[in-house]
Amino acid sequence: MKKIDLSHLDDLALGSVFLATGGGGDPHVPQLITEQAIKAYGPISLIAPEALDDDAFIVPIGNVGAPTVSLELLPSVDEAAKTIDAFEAHVGRKVDAVASFEIGGGNSLIPLVAAAVKGIPVVDGDGMGRALPEAQMMSYAIAGVRPTPALALDYAGNQATFQTKTTEVYERHIRSFAMAAGGMITTAEHAMSGAELKRSVIPGTLSFSIELGRTLRENRGQAEGLLKPLQDIFVPSIYGECRLVFQGKVIDKATRIVGGYDVGEATIDRFDGSGEPLKISIKNEYLLATIGDKVIASVPDLIVIVDYETGTPINAERLRYGHRVAVFAVGCPEFYRTPEALRVVEPRCFGFDIDYVPLEKL
Amino acid sequence: MKKIDLSHLDDLALGSVFLATGGGGDPHVPQLITEQAIKAYGPISLIAPEALDDDAFIVPIGNVGAPTVSLELLPSVDEAAKTIDAFEAHVGRKVDAVASFEIGGGNSLIPLVAAAVKGIPVVDGDGMGRALPEAQMMSYAIAGVRPTPALALDYAGNQATFQTKTTEVYERHIRSFAMAAGGMITTAEHAMSGAELKRSVIPGTLSFSIELGRTLRENRGQAEGLLKPLQDIFVPSIYGECRLVFQGKVIDKATRIVGGYDVGEATIDRFDGSGEPLKISIKNEYLLATIGDKVIASVPDLIVIVDYETGTPINAERLRYGHRVAVFAVGCPEFYRTPEALRVVEPRCFGFDIDYVPLEKL
């Protein structure tokens, strides 16, 4: 079993913001908290899905809410573990390992904090291979894992539990609770056996995120120089295709909190102002990139905005007018190209009236 | 211990709509369900607060949501009992008796259904002596009973539990859940001991509601004829003052669902069109009656609209343009005139920038 120690956290945070495709929540405070947890409780065990007993009890944990709120409503070191404690009390069973909802920003780190404090391993993998805005879009849900019993804790220590018949209803209830509780909560949900996890997880994404972060760090510099090293690690991975699709300056960006999500659009002009700008549609994540009527990339494939000068990925809540950026597009894991997955993550699920065309065919 | 049987239900429904001051939810379907429950399980035991053991375990139960929804989202006979069953499982303790949130419309009847199916008594009393829109306005809350652990069930069988530090936060969470669950839920909350109930309940209101309903039935006819019989039962009761304040025709009525409540206004013109109209401000309940700048009656005193020809009280969600109506005002129980109660139910708590002046001093 590998260990995650302090030396991995910078790379993990960096890589996970890349995979977050704009969402997942800001990792800065979660990273500080993870550091604090590792200093207090020691390195965190990273367990491969296939190493889990089939009857182990695993619960994914993470934050639910509008990422903008994560800049202001700061979590504390014991919240994630308290959520697991309360979940264990609620279901009357000890949790053997925690997993991530999504490999993306803060939500890659929350399970680490829980694992450190509780002294249990974290699964090397996640439920999206990226970040996506709704619970029914998780690979766990798509593969048939039930969302409830679920438990949520807000930052003031108020608690709620949910028992619903479908993940769609669960998503509505948990999102509404997140809004009522100030915009961001910590949630334990989609609990499952080791056997269920093995067939529903997007595997290896925590390790991959660390590797990706290292690549970004070692190749820090202008975006063009990043393409080759990124292709070197993406192409042989579960992701595949990796393209540099645009470079320019953010000339407009606006999001509002609608229904508990950050919803809006960013517009990026070429540095020389030539041609039509790139438009990016946002619902927590960057979901659709278009130039005029032409689709450049769409969900479930990954759209990533990085700082042009350094290659540092930029979350949607940090993206600002005037930012000089480069836009990468990366293929999604095959799991998300199956009919069962596309039923809940194709562009139409986000209100875009287009068919999904895999990145490499665009 | 008295029993509530089929012969009481018409009067109870009628009286409780009067006390509901416009809110509480439509009692029609709850009454049919209560009839069905009594036919299946026998008459319901009505227990006086003082007859409860100090260490008995009592839980108030009722519907939470926008009353307009109660016209469309129909409850079933086993929902209330299922809510108590789930609550008992959640807290690990049997409930000895159920109580009402509010004596008002459907919410007067929901506890009866639970009591019938579960074979436990219902407390003769309620937590408002009328209907009011928010949880922290309940006498239980004002007297210091904690709102949680609380459990809510929606009509599709989805379930949530809540644990909050204050009733204000609880109100926000439960209201948000009611909205997410389609607009109306059944909730068990503010569980307490017999000793706590005795010092927090508005006593005798279920019996009073039946007596009030009988008075309305026996004096069915034009509103002027109702005043004397109503004064005969209100004046010696916990309510006191009873006035006929206006008669006329509804010339405008509009409510919208805002934040899970029905919010709006009704305007009533005198039959001969003379003078200024009466305006009634609505937030689920009729809260403020004014003519021009003059306050005619205000929350926490009761404002009641009845059909002019029959004296039948009309809930806000049933009030329509063209209705010929009479408006009564009734003093609230003394409990609601204490500083602790006025802190949460005075007109300013509803956004009206006026001091509360008791009805008899207006």
Q: What is the pLDDT of residues B258-280, one digit of tens each?
A: 777 788 999 999 999 999 999 99
| Cα–Cα distance measured from residue A125 to residue B91, given in angstroms and rounded to the nearest whole number | 36
Which residues of chain A fall short of a pLDDT of 70? 1, 70-71, 73
Residues 6+ positions from B352 with CB-CB distance below 8 Å: B281, B287, B288, B298
Given this model, what pLDDT does residue B331 score?
98
In this complex, how many residue pairs, one in chain A and one in chain B, have their CB atoms less than 8 Å apart?
Answer: 56
Nearest to A265 by CA among A275, A274, A247, A277: A277
Task: Mark whether B73 and B133 lie in a shared domain.
Answer: yes
Nearest to B286 by CA among B221, B330, B237: B330
Among chain A residues, the shortest Cα distance to B173 is held by A180
* Residue B12 forms part of a structural domain: yes
* Residue B179 forms part of a structural domain: yes
CB contact under 8 A, A158 and B165: yes
Q: Which residues of A touch B152 (CB under 8 A)?
A: none
Q: Give the residue from B159, B179, B205 where a domain finishes.
A: B205
Task: Mark whether A277 and A152 lie in a shared domain.
Answer: no
Q: Are strands B150-153 and B159-163 parallel, antiparallel or unpaired?
A: antiparallel
Q: Which residues of B touch A159 (CB under 8 A)?
A: 162-164
Kindly report the nearest CA distance between residue B85 and chain A, in angstroms. Answer: 15
Is the distance from CB of A188 to CB of A60 less than 8 angstroms? yes
Q: Which residues of B touch A180 (CB under 8 A)?
A: 172-173, 175-177
Given this model, what pLDDT does residue A1 score?
62
For A51-98, how does the pLDDT look when each residue is reduced to its tens digit (9 = 90+)? 999 999 999 999 998 777 766 767 777 889 999 999 999 999 999 999
Task: Mark whether B283 and B311 lie in a shared domain.
Answer: yes
| Cα–Cα distance measured from residue A264 to residue A284, given in angstroms and rounded to the nearest whole number | 9
Nearest to A104 by CA among A195, A205, A178: A205
Among chain B residues, the shortest Cα distance to A89 is held by B90
Q: Which of B159, B163, B175 minimises the CB distance to A163? A: B159
* Interface with chain B: mutation pick from A151, A166, A171, A173, highest number of B CBs within 10 Å: A173
Task: Mark whether A186 and A69 lie in a shared domain.
Answer: yes
* Residue B214 forms part of a structural domain: no
CB contact under 8 A, A180 and B159: no
Given this model, what pLDDT does residue B85 score?
97
Please give the single-letter amino acid code of residue A158: N
Is the distance from CB of A247 to CB of A223 less than 8 angstroms? yes
Task: Mark whether B159 and B249 lie in a shared domain.
Answer: no
Q: Give the residue from B172, B205, B238 where a domain finishes.
A: B205
Q: How far is CA A299 from CA A21, A138, A259, B231, in A?
A: 10, 14, 20, 68
Provide the 10 A C-beta neighbour count for residue B248: 22
Q: Which residues of B touch A175 (CB under 8 A)?
A: 180
Query: What values do phi and psi take at A346, rounded to 5?
Result: -65, 160
Task: Print the domain residue range for B23.
Answer: 2-205
Residues 6+ positions from B68 with CB-CB distance below 8 Å: B183, B255, B257, B262, B317
Task: Mark whether A200 and A227 lie in a shared domain.
Answer: no
Q: Is A360 left (phi over 0), alpha (psi -120 to 50) or beta?
A: alpha
Residues 6+ positions from B254 with CB-CB distance below 8 Å: B264, B265
CB contact under 8 A, B160 and A165: no
| Cα–Cα distance measured from residue A298 to residue A114, given in angstroms and rounded to the nearest whole number | 33
CB contact under 8 A, A176 and B175: no
At A253, is the secondary structure helix, strand, or coil? strand
* Interface with chain A: mutation pick from B167, B170, B172, highest number of A CBs within 10 Å: B172
Helices (H), B103-243: 106-118, 139-142, 167-180, 194-200, 205-218, 223-234
Q: Which of A159, A161, A173 minimises the CB distance to B180? A: A173
* Residue A128 forms part of a structural domain: yes
Nearest to A171 by CA among A193, A153, A148: A148
Task: Mark whether A245 and A312 lie in a shared domain.
Answer: yes
* Residue A142 forms part of a structural domain: yes
Given this model, what pLDDT does residue A256 score?
86
Task: Mark whether A14 and A119 lie in a shared domain.
Answer: yes
Q: Which residues of A touch B164 (CB under 8 A)?
A: 158-159
DSSP state of A84: H
Measured between CB atoms, does A156 come within 8 Å of chain B? Answer: yes
CB contact under 8 A, A165 and B177: no
* Residue B118 forms part of a structural domain: yes
| ipTM rounded to 2 decimals | 0.81
Q: Give the residue from A180, A205, A230 where a domain finishes.
A: A205
Q: How far is CA A27 from CA A42, A115, A190, in A?
A: 20, 17, 23
Kindly report the nearest CA distance between residue B181 and chain A, in angstroms. Answer: 7
Measured between CB atoms, does A158 come within 8 Å of chain B? Answer: yes
Task: Mark whether B224 and B193 lie in a shared domain.
Answer: no
> How many domains is chain B partitioned into structurally?
2
Among chain A residues, the shortest Cα distance to B89 is held by A90
Q: Which residues of A touch B162 (CB under 8 A)?
A: 158-160
* Interface with chain B: mutation pick from A153, A177, A179, A185, highest number of B CBs within 10 Å: A177
Q: Which of B165, B177, B181 minimises the CB distance to A157? A: B165
Q: Which residues of A touch B169 (CB under 8 A)?
A: 156, 158
Residues 6+ positions from B75 with CB-CB distance below 8 Å: B29, B30, B33, B63, B106, B110, B155, B186
| Cα–Cα distance measured from residue A111 to residue B233, given in angstroms and rounded to the nearest whole number | 63
- Rounded CA Rg of chain B: 19
**Pair of tokens at residue B59:** 């839980």
CB contact under 8 A, A164 and B158: yes
CATH number at residue A291: 2.40.390.10
Given this model, what pLDDT does residue B336 score?
97
Q: Which of B165, B172, B181 minimises the CB distance to A173? A: B181
| Cα–Cα distance measured from residue A146 to residue A136, given in angstroms and rounded to the nearest whole number | 10
Measured between CB atoms, does B71 come within 8 Å of chain A? Answer: no
| Cα–Cα distance measured from residue B3 to residue B9, given in angstroms and rounded to the nearest whole number | 12
CA neighbours within 13 Å on the CB side: how many for B31?
18
Interface of A with B in 162-201 (CB under 8 A): 162-165, 169, 172-173, 175-177, 179-181
CB contact under 8 A, A173 and B177: yes
Measured between CB atoms, does A89 come within 8 Å of chain B? Answer: no
Q: Which residues of A touch B156 (CB under 8 A)?
A: 165, 169
CATH number at residue A33: 3.40.1610.10
* Residue B213 forms part of a structural domain: no
* Interface with chain A: mutation pick from B158, B168, B187, B189, highest number of A CBs within 10 Å: B158
Is the distance from CB of B217 to CB of B14 less than 8 angstroms? yes
Task: Mark whether B49 and B83 lie in a shared domain.
Answer: yes
Task: Mark whether B19 and B146 lie in a shared domain.
Answer: yes
* Residue B318 forms part of a structural domain: yes
Task: Mark whether B246 and B297 lie in a shared domain.
Answer: yes
Q: Which residues of B touch A179 (CB under 8 A)?
A: 176
| pLDDT in 10s for each residue of chain B, 362 residues | 699 999 999 999 999 999 999 988 788 889 999 999 999 999 999 999 999 999 999 999 999 887 777 667 677 778 899 999 999 999 999 999 999 999 988 899 999 999 999 999 999 999 999 999 899 999 999 999 999 999 999 989 999 999 999 999 999 999 999 999 988 899 999 999 999 999 999 999 999 999 999 999 999 998 899 999 999 999 999 999 999 999 999 999 998 887 777 889 999 999 999 999 999 999 989 999 999 999 999 999 999 999 999 999 999 988 999 999 999 999 999 999 999 999 999 999 998 999 999 999 99
